[in-house]
Chains A and B, each alone.
Chain A
Amino acid sequence: MVPRTQPRHESRKRAPSRPTAEKLLPAIFDSCQDAIVSRDEAGLITTWNAGAEKLFGYTPEEIIGKPIEILIPEDRRNDEEIIMNRLREGGLIGYYPARRCRKDGSTVEVSISASAIRNRDGRIIGAAKIMRDLTPSLQAQAELDRSTRALNESEIRYRILFDSIDEGFCVLEVLFDQANRPCDYRILEVNPAFERQTGLRDATGKGIRELIPNHEQYWFDIYGRVATTGRPVRFENRSRGLQRWYDVYAFRIGSIRERKVAVLFNDITKRKETEETLRDAQVKLQLAIEGSDIGIWDWNIITGERVWSDRSKEMFGIPLASTVTRELFLERVHPDDRASVTTALAAALEQGNDYSQEYRVIHPDGQQRWVLTKGRVFYDDQGTATRMSGTVIDITASKRTQEESKEHLERLIAERTARLQETVSELESFSYTVSHDLRSPLRAMQAFAYMTAEEYGACLDETGRGYLKRIDAAARRMDTLIQDVIAYSRAAPASLEIMPVNLNDILEEVIQQYPSVNVAHATFEIAGQLHGVSGSPSTLVQVLSNILTNAVKFVPHGGKAHVKVWTERSGEKVRLFVQDNGIGIPEEVLPKIFEPFQRGHADRGYDGTGIGLAIARKAVTRMGGSIGVKSTVGQGSTFWIELPAST
C-alpha cells in the first residue's frame, strides 16, 4: 500500500470501474473526518486532507511544504522526535494523545496514529499521521460525569428525606387473586417512621395479611385501584387491626405491570379522637340546649348579621321567619332598660368583658318577660372583634319568686322589728315598773319608820329605836340597789351618737364635776395630750367617772390616792390606762369584776353596789370597744379601755 503524494483532485476525476484498494484510498483520504497529514524526511508537510484543513484551519496551499512544527506547541516540540524515533525503531503509534496548534493560535487535544513511509530500500523517508479531534468525546465524558454526580446527589437527598420524615412511607406490591381482585399487598420497602406510625416491625418483604390478619378489604381495593389506574389518591381511613386512623397519600410507581404503589401516611388517631369528642360534645350541647330552654344568638360584628335560635326569637316575641336586626332587637327591650343594654354591649365590645345583662322584654302583644342574656366577644388575629355570641334565658318566673321572696323578707323584717320594739317597750315598762312600784313601798317603810321614831320614839327603849334605824337603813340600801339596776339597764342606749372625742376634756369634766372623784385625798396625773377616740362623750363621762371613782375610793383608809392616766395607740385602736395606788383586787375576783353586782371588796368597809364597772363595760362595748384590768393586791390596779381611734 503506497500512499499517493499527488493532489487528490486529479485522482478523483478518474472514475474507477471497480473498487480496489488503490482506488479506495483517495476516497478515504478525501472524506475522512480525521486529519491525515504526511511529512518528508526533512520534516516538511507533504500532504494535507480536508479533515486536516477543518481541524487546524490551514488550506493545503498554505501549509504544504511548511515544517510540521507549525502544528506543535512550543512545550511539546520533542513530541515529533519521540514519534519519529518510535517509527524508526519499527513501532507503530496508535492513539497517542497530544496537543496541537491551530491556525488561529488555539490548541486542540488530538489522538495521533502514525506510520512510517519508506522507500524501496526500506529506508524511512517520511511519516503519515492520522489525527482525531478529541474535543467532542471529552465534552461527552464531562457531561456524563456531571449527570452521574447529580443523580447521586438527588439519590442521597431522597434518602435523607425518606429516612427523616415523620410520615410513614412504604412501597407496596399489590397482589391480585385469580378473579383479578386485589387481595393482599407485599411491603417492599419502608422508611424508619413506618414502624412508629404502624407499630409493625420488620415489615419489609412481608404480606400485610400476614402482619394484620383482619386488615380491611377497602385497603386492598384502594391500592389495587391506584396500581391499575395510576391515579393517586388521598384518603383518611381507620385500620381496625392497628386500631389507628391514617391520613394516606398513595400513588403508583414503576410500570403498570409492576403493580407497585408508594404510600405516604400519617397517624391521625389523636386528631380523629379529638374530632369525635368535639362532635360528641356538640351533639350533647345541642341536646342540652334543646332540652334546657336556652336561646342561642350569634352576632357577626363585621357583616352585622344576627343569627338567633328559634327559642331566642320566641323569648323576644319575634316571628321565627323574621330576620333579627339591631332595631328590632332594641324595639323589644323595655324602654327603661334600653340604655343599660346598649351600654353593657358597648362595654363588652370595648373591654372584651363577658356580657351579662338582665332586662325586660316587651312582646308585641304587650306581655312583659324578664330575660338574662350572656355573651362573649370573639377576636381575629389582629385583635379586631369579629363576632359575639351567647345565650338568653327567660327568668320571668325566678324574678317573680325573687320579688315575692323580697316582699316576704321585708314582711318578715317588719314583723321582727315590731316584735323587737314590743320587747324593748316591754323592757322599758319593766324597768319603769321596777323603779316606781318597787320603790314606793320602800318609801312607805322609810317614812313610817321615821314617823314612828318621831312620834312614838319616847315610848320605845334604845333597842326599839335601833330596830327602827335598821329598818330605815335597809330600806335606803334597797332603794340604792334599785336605782343602780335602773342605771345599768338604761346605760348606753343602743343608738349612741359616735363622734371624735377629746379624752383630756372628758377627764377634766369628770374630775371637776364628780364629787365622788374630786375628793380631797386624791391627786391626778394626766400624761400630756391624750390620743383622740371615737365614742359618745356623755357615755364616756359615765364610764370614766365610774373608773375614777373606784380609783380614788379603794385606797387604804386614811391614805392618799394617786391616779395616773395615759393613752397608747396601736394601729386603729387607742387604749386609755387608769392606774391607781389602791388596795388592789384579789385574783379570784378579777374575772367577775365587770359582772353586775360583783364587788371586789365586799364587807371590807367600802360601800357600793358593784354596778359601776358593769355599767362601764356595757357602755364601752356599745361604743365598739373593750375594757380590762390588771391588779396586784396591795400595789394597785390599772384599768384600761380600748376604743377606735378618732383619726
Chain B
Amino acid sequence: MKTNYTIMVVEDEENDFYLLERAFKKNKITNPIQWMKDSMEALHYLKGEGIYANRKEFPFPEIVILDLKTPRMTGLELLAWIRDHPECRVIPTIIMSSSKQDSDVQKAYELGANTYFVKPSDFQTLVEMTKSLHDYWLRGTRPDLPRRS
C-alpha cells in the first residue's frame, strides 16, 4: 500500500484551495495534490486527454476531493460521471462544500459520494478535518487503480 498516492482537488476558489493545501501541510501530509480549477478540467484529467495522457506527470488520483459549486460543470455532475465510469467509479470521492443544504447532502450520497464535509468557517477545524480524512484513507484499504498499458 503506497502512501504517496495522488490527491485530486476540484476547487474553483483559489483561497479555499490554498487553505486546504496549508491544512494538509499543517498535518505533514505531503502527497502530491493535483489542483483542478473546475470539473471539466478534472474530466479531461481522469480521461487522460491532452496533456493528461502523460500519467507519469499526471498520475491517476487515488482520492478525489470535490467542491459542489464549480463552473461549467457542477461537482455533482462530475460525481455522477465518475460513478458511471467503469474505471473511475472505484475512486473514493469526498465532497467538500460550503453548502449545508439537506438536498445537496442527500443528492451527493445518492450519487455515491464517500464522505460529505461542510467547509468549516475557521481554519483550525479545517486542519482537523484534513487530518482525519488522511488518517481514514491511509489506513483504510483503497481499491486498485486501473492498469494502463
**CB under 8 Å from chain B, chain A span 424-450:** 432, 435-437, 439-444, 446-448, 450
The chain A residue with its CB closest to the CB of B18 is A444
- Complex CA–CA separation, A435 to B100 (angstroms): 9
- Complex CA–CA separation, A436 to B121 (angstroms): 11
- Complex CA–CA separation, A616 to B30 (angstroms): 50
The chain B residue with its CB closest to the CB of A449 is B123
- Complex CA–CA separation, A437 to B97 (angstroms): 11
Which residues does chain B contribute within 8 Å of A444, judged by CB atoms? 13, 15-16, 19
Which residues does chain B contribute within 8 Å of A432, judged by CB atoms? 69, 99, 101
Which residues does chain B contribute within 8 Å of A151, judged by CB atoms? none
Q: Is A376 an interface residue (CB 8 A)?
A: no
**CB under 8 Å from chain B, chain A span 399-457:** 432, 435-437, 439-444, 446-448, 450-451
Contact of A440 with B123 in the complex, beta carbons under 8 Å: no
Closest 3 CB pairs of A and B: A444-B15, A447-B123, A436-B98
Contact of A440 with B15 in the complex, beta carbons under 8 Å: yes
Contact of A446 with B16 in the complex, beta carbons under 8 Å: no
5 A-B pairs within 8 Å (CB atoms) are namely A444-B15, A446-B123, A451-B123, A476-B121, A479-B121
Contact of B69 with A443 in the complex, beta carbons under 8 Å: no
- Whole-angstrom distance between the Cβ of B98 and the nearest chain A Cβ: 5
Which residues does chain A contribute within 8 Å of B123, judged by CB atoms? 446-447, 450-451
Check A443/B15 contact, CB under 8 A, given A450-B122, A450-B123: yes
Which residues does chain A contribute within 8 Å of B134, judged by CB atoms? none
B93-105: contact bitstring with A at CB < 8 Å (1 yes, 0 no)? 0000111110000
The chain A residue with its CB closest to the CB of B119 is A443
- Complex CA–CA separation, A444 to B100 (angstroms): 18
- Complex CA–CA separation, A450 to B127 (angstroms): 12
Which residues does chain A contribute within 8 Å of B16, judged by CB atoms? 440, 443-444
- Whole-angstrom distance between the Cβ of B32 and the nearest chain A Cβ: 23
Which residues does chain B contribute within 8 Å of A436, judged by CB atoms? 69, 97-99
- Complex CA–CA separation, A437 to B68 (angstroms): 12
- Complex CA–CA separation, A436 to B100 (angstroms): 9
- Whole-angstrom distance between the Cβ of B131 and the nearest chain A Cβ: 16
**Which of B13, B22, B100 sits near A440, CB closer than 8 Å?**
B13
Which residues does chain B contribute within 8 Å of A450, judged by CB atoms? 122-124
The chain B residue with its CB closest to the CB of A450 is B123
**Which of B19, B22, B99, B101 sits near A443, CB closer than 8 Å?**
B19
**CB under 8 Å from chain A, chain B span 90-149:** 97-101, 119-124, 126
- Complex CA–CA separation, A444 to B120 (angstroms): 11
- Complex CA–CA separation, A432 to B101 (angstroms): 9
Q: How many residues of B contact A (CB 8 A)?
A: 18
Check A446/B121 contact, CB under 8 A, given A432-B101, A440-B16: yes
Q: Given A440-B98, A446-B121, A451-B22, 17 more contacts at CB 8 Å?
A: A435-B98, A435-B100, A436-B98, A437-B69, A439-B121, A441-B15, A442-B121, A443-B15, A443-B16, A443-B119, A444-B19, A447-B123, A447-B126, A448-B15, A450-B123, A476-B121, A479-B121
The chain B residue with its CB closest to the CB of A445 is B15
- Complex CA–CA separation, A479 to B121 (angstroms): 8
Which residues does chain A contribute within 8 Å of B19, judged by CB atoms? 443-444, 447
- Complex CA–CA separation, A439 to B101 (angstroms): 14
Contact of A439 with B98 in the complex, beta carbons under 8 Å: yes
A139-166: contact bitstring with B at CB < 8 Å (1 yes, 0 no)? 0000000000000000000000000000
- Complex CA–CA separation, A188 to B149 (angstroms): 146
- Complex CA–CA separation, A371 to B64 (angstroms): 71
- Whole-angstrom distance between the Cβ of A439 and the nearest chain B Cβ: 5
The chain B residue with its CB closest to the CB of A454 is B123
- Whole-angstrom distance between the Cβ of B137 and the nearest chain A Cβ: 23
- Complex CA–CA separation, A254 to B122 (angstroms): 136
- Complex CA–CA separation, A440 to B18 (angstroms): 12
- Complex CA–CA separation, A442 to B98 (angstroms): 12
Contact of B15 with A446 in the complex, beta carbons under 8 Å: no
The chain A residue with its CB closest to the CB of B13 is A440
- Complex CA–CA separation, A153 to B121 (angstroms): 129
Which residues does chain B contribute within 8 Å of A446, judged by CB atoms? 121-123
Which residues does chain A contribute within 8 Å of B121, judged by CB atoms? 439, 442-443, 446, 476, 479
The chain B residue with its CB closest to the CB of A472 is B122
Which residues does chain A contribute within 8 Å of B126, judged by CB atoms? 447
- Complex CA–CA separation, A442 to B123 (angstroms): 11
- Complex CA–CA separation, A441 to B121 (angstroms): 10
Which residues does chain A contribute within 8 Å of B22, judged by CB atoms? 451
- Complex CA–CA separation, A432 to B121 (angstroms): 17
Which residues does chain A contribute within 8 Å of B122, judged by CB atoms? 446-447, 450
- Complex CA–CA separation, A447 to B18 (angstroms): 11
Contact of B124 with A440 in the complex, beta carbons under 8 Å: no
The chain B residue with its CB closest to the CB of A436 is B98
- Complex CA–CA separation, A479 to B100 (angstroms): 14
Which residues does chain A contribute within 8 Å of B98, judged by CB atoms? 435-436, 439-440, 443
Which residues does chain B contribute within 8 Å of A451, judged by CB atoms? 22, 123
- Whole-angstrom distance between the Cβ of A346 and the nearest chain B Cβ: 58
Which residues does chain A contribute within 8 Å of B13, judged by CB atoms? 440, 444
- Whole-angstrom distance between the Cβ of B25 and the nearest chain A Cβ: 11
- Whole-angstrom distance between the Cβ of B21 and the nearest chain A Cβ: 12
- Whole-angstrom distance between the Cβ of A494 and the nearest chain B Cβ: 16
- Complex CA–CA separation, A447 to B21 (angstroms): 13
The chain B residue with its CB closest to the CB of A431 is B101
Q: Which of A432, A435, A440, A446 counts the most chain B CB atoms within 10 A?
A: A440
- Whole-angstrom distance between the Cβ of B10 and the nearest chain A Cβ: 15
Which residues does chain B contribute within 8 Å of A442, judged by CB atoms? 121
- Complex CA–CA separation, A441 to B18 (angstroms): 12
- Complex CA–CA separation, A446 to B98 (angstroms): 15
Which residues does chain B contribute within 8 Å of A440, judged by CB atoms? 13, 15-16, 98, 119
- Complex CA–CA separation, A176 to B16 (angstroms): 133
- Complex CA–CA separation, A376 to B101 (angstroms): 66
Which residues does chain B contribute within 8 Å of A447, judged by CB atoms? 15, 19, 122-123, 126
- Complex CA–CA separation, A441 to B120 (angstroms): 12
Which residues does chain A contribute within 8 Å of B97, judged by CB atoms? 436
The chain A residue with its CB closest to the CB of B99 is A436
- Whole-angstrom distance between the Cβ of B145 and the nearest chain A Cβ: 32
- Complex CA–CA separation, A436 to B19 (angstroms): 16
- Whole-angstrom distance between the Cβ of B103 and the nearest chain A Cβ: 9
The chain A residue with its CB closest to the CB of B98 is A436
- Whole-angstrom distance between the Cβ of A304 and the nearest chain B Cβ: 71
**CB under 8 Å from chain B, chain A span 455-484:** 476, 479
Contact of A435 with B124 in the complex, beta carbons under 8 Å: no
B6-42: contact bitstring with A at CB < 8 Å (1 yes, 0 no)? 0000000101100100100000000000000000000
- Complex CA–CA separation, A448 to B126 (angstroms): 13
- Complex CA–CA separation, A476 to B121 (angstroms): 8
- Whole-angstrom distance between the Cβ of B119 and the nearest chain A Cβ: 6
- Whole-angstrom distance between the Cβ of A495 and the nearest chain B Cβ: 14
A221-256: contact bitstring with B at CB < 8 Å (1 yes, 0 no)? 000000000000000000000000000000000000
- Whole-angstrom distance between the Cβ of A477 and the nearest chain B Cβ: 12
Q: Which of A435, A436, A447, A450 counts the most chain B CB atoms within 10 A?
A: A447
- Complex CA–CA separation, A442 to B121 (angstroms): 8
